[in-house]
Amino acid sequence: MILLLLVITYHSAFEIGFVPNDCMGVYQKGFWDKTAGNKVAGYFDIEIELRLRGFFIGGGVKTYVAKSLRNRIEFYPYQADYKFQTGYRFNDKIEIGWKHRCYHAVKPYITFGAPAIWGGGYDELFIRFEK
């Protein structure tokens, strides 16, 4: 009988930041519909990744917080950007995998008074080379 030693390691991160300037909107049919300007005040970003013998799987969420209706910075979630990825790292320099990103408004127009910034998502199949 062969005993396999499974060592699962992990990497996690927490980031907090300030958005000094923002301008997001929708460009369609030849015009720019600006939906946000100076509404986003900051963000929180949380990530985790599990690793096992070169394989990895992980994800995270970045939540943008806005100025409240009283024009103060509070925890007033506005936008959530989710990410998920999985793949294989051959060494510290080459990795292949799949990534999924999706964007969702947290507060609808009626409760916040501004339209959603983003909605949707995309997938990526990738090979990454690092120096």
Q: Which residues of 36-53 are buried (b: 16+ CB within 10 A; e: fewer)?
A: beebbbbbebebebeeee
DSSP state of 8: -
- Element housing 99 (H / E): strand 94-105
Residue 4 lies in a domain: no
Residue 30 lies in a domain: yes
Separation in Å, CA 56 to CA 2, 13, 62, 121: 24, 15, 20, 21
Window from 59-63, 78-82, 107-111 with minimum mean pLDDT: 107-111
At residue 110, the pLDDT reads 45
Question: Which percentage of the chain shows pLDDT scores above 70?
Answer: 60
At residue 109, the pLDDT reads 46
Per-residue pLDDT at 100 exceeds 90? yes
Residue 2 lies in a domain: no
> How many domains does one find in the chain?
1
Cβ–Cβ < 8 Å for 83, 63: no
What distance in Å separates the CA atoms of residue 18 and residue 106, rounded to the nearest whole number?
18
What is the domain range of residue 82? Answer: 9-129
Give phi and psi for 78, each to the nearest 5: -125, -40
Question: Which percentage of the chain shows pLDDT scores above 90?
Answer: 31
Residue 62 lies in a domain: yes
At residue 63, the pLDDT reads 84
Query: What does pLDDT average to over the chain?
Result: 76
What pTM was estimated for this model as a whole? 0.70
Residue 3 lies in a domain: no
Residue 1 lies in a domain: no
Token pair of 37 as six digits: 């300007």
| H, E, C per residue of 58-88 | EEEEEEEEEECCCCCEEEEEEEEEEEEEEEE
